[in-house]
Amino acid sequence: MATAAANSASEPEAEPKAGPKAVGEEDEVKAARTRRKVLSRAVAAATYKTMGPGWDQQEEGVSESDGDEYAMASSAESSPGEYEWEYDEEEEKNQLEIERLEEQLSINVYDYNCHVDLIRLLRLEGELTKVRMARQKMSEIFPLTEELWLEWLHDEISMAQDGLDREHVYDLFEKAVKDYICPNIWLEYGQYSVGGIGQKGGLEKVRSVFERALSSVGLHMTKGLALWEAYREFESAIVEAARPVAGFLSPFDREQTFDSQLEKVHSLFRRQLAIPLYDMEATFAEYEEWSEDSIPDSVIQNYNKALQQLEKYKPYEEALLQAEAPRLAEYQAYIDFEMKIGDPARIQLIFERALVENCLVPDLWIRYSQYLDRQLKVKDLVLSVHNRAIRNCPWTVALWSRYLLAMERHGVDHQVISVTFEKALNAGFIQATDYVEIWQAYLDYLRRRVDFKQDSSKELEELRAAFARALEYLKQEVEERFNESGDPSCVIMQNWARIEARLCNNMQKARELWDSIMTRGNAKYANMWLEYYNLERAHGDTQHCRKALHRAVQCTSDYPEHVCEVLLTMERTEGSLEDWDIAVQKTETRLARVNEQRLKAAEKEAALVQQEEEKAEQRKRARAEKKALKKKKKTRGPDKRGADEDDEKEWGDDEEEQPSKRRRVENSIPAAGETQNMESAAGPAGKCAVVDVEPPSKQKEKAASLKRDMPKVLHDSSKDSITVFVSNLPYSMQEPDAKLKPLFEACGEVVQIRPIFSNRGDFRGYCYVEFKEEKSALQALEMDRKSVEGRPMFVSPCVDKSKNPDFKVFRYSTSLEKHKLFISGLPFSCTKEELEEICKVHGTVKDLRLVTNRAGKPKGLAYVEYENESQASQAVMKMDGMTIKENVIKVAISNPPQRKVPEKPEARKASGGPMPSPQTYGARGKGRTQLALLPRALQRPSAAAPQAENGPAPAPAVATPPATEAPKMSNADFAKLFLRK
């Protein structure tokens, strides 16, 4: 490699031989040859300055202007291409879009995607001055990605003409390498600096850039090799260019120039071979070939040690290569491994590598900054990382708080810290409590600046002013945005009161603050009064303590007994007889009133419960009477009884989950033939004529015969893993197995589909789909809520609920999701595509879900998932209160309320509450139309759940003595007894 570079400096370029190479390969070869030629000529110029007048620069055809040729070659190789700006009909459209983006950024400067789109359009329109300003503004707010920096650098390199422009490009490179660890940017920086080698200090500049690059990314196992080779090739080219004149120099000059340059190349080889990098074997072989002397034993030992280290790192590097971006889990494992080894340089590098792909993960930034704060404690490095963290994740309050602490810890000027705090207030936090936290962090910093030994000082007045401003800010700004202050317990005001009482000896101000706290709805809480009482005990007097407790007795509603006990304890130890009598009288009166209120509340609750039970009993009796009346009007055929007796343990029947007997409209739609018969039987007046209709007994006999003809399939619990339960299907679906099979065959081979029918042969709206492989069943679960004939189809795992009563299928998160929005108040006519068009203006929409009911009708609600928290917070600020089709929508961060967990019988029994008789139902739970035909006086709790007919069978019951065992009777048996009366 080095030899080839050296030969290119003195030998003319050979013409490439014609061959079957692709055009792309030829372009690569030409570009590499051009870069190497320019590099060699630039090195020759540097050698002339290093070796002195012994080297005739003009003989070799090298001029000082040749150094700038690299910039042209580099930009020709790496720039996107020559753009011919054509103004067509899209020009006006682009200008309007540019104006819209500029207006949007004037409203919210933290809109990342808006910055990117504006730069893209300005670059497309050829507005070079504007695009430079847009990039400058974006770089001040956000760190730019490697792609954005390289695009910016290539544009500036192509426009650079003189030395001042080159210095401007150098400044851009310095900013670029501070945002992220990017080997490609360092490589571009080193190659571009070679182009300025002909200027004053150019050689030192190149070496300085390469040395910093090696310190930054030289340990990168996969991409560090390119930097080592580029640096070594540069130094080797100088050696080879100086070799022809080395023989003409004196021994002293040769040692000072040529030999020292040769030692630089040896040093680079040795340093590289001591670091575990990919393709180390090739580097070692190249060193053996290049070196004229034998390789020292120490170098070989370091090389072998590096190979051993490489084997330890390979599993983590291979995991990164095989995984897909952003590879957060793989990077976390790699970080844990490096933390155990404890090499600070490698730990810093792996953190930086992880942040390149996971720059929007606040937890990763927190972990990195915490390591630097506790271990390295280098001011410039620590503050730089904290600054990058808040620029990447400005919506995370924990990063701002840690940044303020880091600046205070390293003695940053107070004015800078105050400016940083003001930026935090404008960062757009997504919760009201975040503003309370950042204010608390800043107030703590201001408190630590105050010297409380002085009665008054500038710092103390600033602290008091900050407390007052914090309360005003939370009351106006935060409450206006979130409809809450974020500080219901008045934590900031409590801290202010403690500071005034303990540090400033100003109890009067502290009492005023506590009065304000109590007037904000906190007077009903015992803990707030006790906090005030403790403050008075420590820094006040007994009179105010007694006054506070007397007020607490009258106002507290959550734990009045505790407050009364504290008052009596104080009077017992410190009060007079009169004080004791007053305290006893007040506490007894208050507790009596509290007990009376609690009794009334309990009676009211019991009355409500009794009313609900009576209403339920009335509905139950009405349904029973209605059912009995229907059965009296019908005659029951003998074949039906036989069919009922054969229905046990079948997939085709459903005793455990009976649907409502009130048939839906879609179930009552007759078939085409039946419709025609009904129309022909109708008279001219619209009245139905007398037609021959089979009696109900005949119809039921026919349905029973059809059920007997259906194959009986016993449920096999071992196939639950390859079976899914499909529900919420239209009752009017004809031949559901034939219609559903093509739908589910997209997931895998379907063994069978078992639709569930009623005794009359009507489809019940659900079925079981059995696959050949388990992965097909798992893939079928992704079809949940797919629209089938206008209704959302529910697909869930096949689970025996008698064995797993707590099993519930809910595919969506019920916790806080900062990157997801909840939208309410949408018009029912709003489609998913229309809402997505509105939402994608504020960021990348990963998922959008319109909430519907079981019939597939919209409910006016939606969930929108963005790529990150920043985009979600921007969308909340922009979309909340927006009008869509004359409907004003509400937008908030998705944070569903906690679902109420039903109280378990064991907890009820432990609390002394009534224990209801245990009931057991089938695999799908209790049906809405089940009736208990046995009188309640004879009802007994069943020892085991009945056999599920349409779902997984429950576990067999434990045998009990015959004397106490209740007779096992099904609903069909009770129906027979009822009909025989």
pLDDT tens for 468-518 read: 999 999 998 998 888 888 888 999 999 999 999 999 999 999 999 999 999
Question: What pLDDT sits at residue 646?
Answer: 44
Asked whether the beta carbons of 899 and 814 are under 8 A apart, the reply is yes
Q: How far apart are CA 891 and CA 382, in angstroms?
A: 37
Q: Is the pLDDT of residue 938 over 60?
A: no
Same fold across 92-324 and 820-893: no
Question: What pLDDT sits at residue 545?
Answer: 94
Q: Is the pLDDT of residue 87 over 70?
A: no
501, 436, 499: which is closest to 471 by C-alpha?
Answer: 436
Question: What pLDDT sits at residue 723?
Answer: 92
CATH among 3.30.70.330, 3.30.1050.10, 3.40.50.300, 1.10.10.10 for 723-797: 3.30.70.330
Q: How far apart are CA 794 and CA 418, in angstroms?
A: 55
DSSP summary character for residue 901: P
What tokens were used for 232? 């070594």
Q: How far apart are CA 41 and CA 44, in angstroms?
A: 5
Residues facing residue 797 across a β-bridge: 724
Q: Which fold has domain 325-410?
A: 1.25.40
Q: How far apart are CA 595 and CA 580, in angstroms?
A: 22
Residue 867: which pLDDT band, with cuts at 50, 70 and 90? Answer: confident
Q: Which fold has domain 820-893?
A: Alpha-Beta Plaits (3.30.70)
What tokens were used for 303? 């090389």
Question: What pLDDT sits at residue 878?
Answer: 79
Architecture of domain 92-324: Alpha Horseshoe (1.25)
State the pTM of this model: 0.60
Amino acid identity of residue 36, one-letter, is R
Amino acid identity of residue 405, one-letter, is L
CA separation, residue 494 to residues 247, 491, 501, 515 (Å): 84, 5, 11, 11
Mean pLDDT of the chain: 78
What tokens were used for 556? 């507290």
Residue 701: which pLDDT band, with cuts at 50, 70 and 90? Answer: low
Question: What pLDDT sits at residue 18?
Answer: 37
Question: What pLDDT sits at residue 674?
Answer: 40
DSSP summary character for residue 489: T
- DSSP states of 158-194: HH--SHHHHHHHHHHHHHHHHHS--HHHHHHHHHHHH
Asked whether the beta carbons of 155 and 168 are under 8 A apart, the reply is no
* 742-754 as b/e: b if 16+ CB within 10 A: ebbeebbebeebb
For helices 432-449 and 458-473, angle between their N-to-C axes, nearest 10 degrees? 170
Q: How far apart are CA 653 and CA 669, in angstroms?
A: 22
Helix locations, 518-576, DSSP H = 526-539, 542-555, 560-574
For helices 542-555 and 526-539, angle between their N-to-C axes, nearest 10 degrees? 180
What tokens were used for 252? 């002293």
The owner of tokens 């009777």 is 969
CB proximity list for 818: less than 8 A, separation 6 or greater: 395, 430, 869, 872, 873, 893
What tokens were used for 552? 């607490």
* 839-849 as b/e: b if 16+ CB within 10 A: bbbbbebeebe
What tokens were used for 574? 């410190």
Query: Mean pLDDT over residues 683-705, rounded?
Result: 46
Rounded to 10 degrees, what is the CA torsion of 505, 509, 510, 512? 160
Q: How far apart are CA 490 and CA 517, in angstroms?
A: 6
State the distance between the two ends of the chain, measured CA to CA, in whole angstroms: 105
DSSP summary character for residue 867: S
DSSP summary character for residue 662: S
844 versus 814: the higher-pLDDT residue is 844
User: 211: number of CA atoms within 13 Å, CB side?
Assistant: 8
521, 592, 600: which is closest to 553 by C-alpha?
Answer: 592
What are the domain boundaries of the chain?
92-324, 325-410, 429-520, 523-599, 723-797, 820-893
pLDDT digits (tens, 9 = 90+) for 889-899: 988 888 876 65
Q: What angle do CA 548, 549, 552 make, to 5 degrees?
A: 90
The owner of tokens 């004229």 is 292
106 versus 971: the higher-pLDDT residue is 106
Exposed, middle or buried: residue 89 (CB in 10 Å: 0-12, 13-18, 19+)?
A: exposed
Question: What pLDDT sits at residue 676?
Answer: 39
Asked whether the beta carbons of 855 and 791 are under 8 A apart, the reply is yes
3-state DSSP of 69-104: HHHHHHHHHHCCCCCCCCCCCHHHHHHHHHHHHHHH
Q: How far apart are CA 688 and CA 678, in angstroms?
A: 8
Amino acid identity of residue 963, one-letter, is A
User: 316: number of CA atoms within 13 Å, CB side?
Assistant: 21
pLDDT digits (tens, 9 = 90+) for 815-857: 788 888 999 999 988 988 889 888 988 888 988 888 888 777 8
CA 959 to chain centre: 52
Considering the chain, what percentage of its residues have pLDDT values greater than 90? Answer: 41
pLDDT digits (tens, 9 = 90+) for 375-405: 989 999 999 999 999 988 988 999 999 999 9
Backbone angles phi, psi at 688, to 5 degrees: -80, 135
Q: Is the pLDDT of residue 312 over 90?
A: yes
Residue 141: which pLDDT band, with cuts at 50, 70 and 90? Answer: confident
Query: Mean pLDDT over residues 626-642, rounded?
Result: 67
3-state DSSP of 215-249: HHHCCCCCCHHHHHHHHHHHHHHHHHHHHHHHCCC
Asked whether the beta carbons of 462 and 475 are under 8 A apart, the reply is no
Can you list the positions of beta strands (E) in 481-635? none
Question: What pLDDT sits at residue 849?
Answer: 87
Q: How far apart are CA 222 and CA 226, in angstroms?
A: 9
Q: How far apart are CA 274 and CA 253, in angstroms?
A: 31
Question: What is the arrangement of strands in the sheet containing 845-852, beginning at the earlier edge strand?
Answer: 845-852, 858-866, 817-824, 890-894
839, 876, 880: which is closest to 431 by C-alpha?
Answer: 876
Question: What pLDDT sits at residue 901?
Answer: 52
Count the residues in the chain.
981
Q: How far apart are CA 762 and CA 351, in angstroms?
A: 63
Question: What pLDDT sits at residue 711?
Answer: 57
Query: Mean pLDDT over residues 959-978, rounded?
Result: 54
Q: How many CB atoms lie within 10 A of CB 604?
A: 10
Q: How many CB atoms lie within 10 A of CB 910?
A: 9
Q: Is the pLDDT of residue 23 over 50?
A: no
3-state DSSP of 872-883: HHHHHHHHCCCE
Q: How far apart are CA 544 and CA 519, in angstroms?
A: 18
Q: Is the dihedral of CA 587, 589, 595, 601 positive or negative?
A: negative
CB proximity list for 505: less than 8 A, separation 6 or greater: 539
- DSSP states of 800-832: -TTT-TT-----S--S-EEEEEEEE---TT--H
Q: Is the dihedral of CA 796, 801, 803, 809 positive or negative?
A: positive
Residue 196: which pLDDT band, with cuts at 50, 70 and 90? Answer: confident
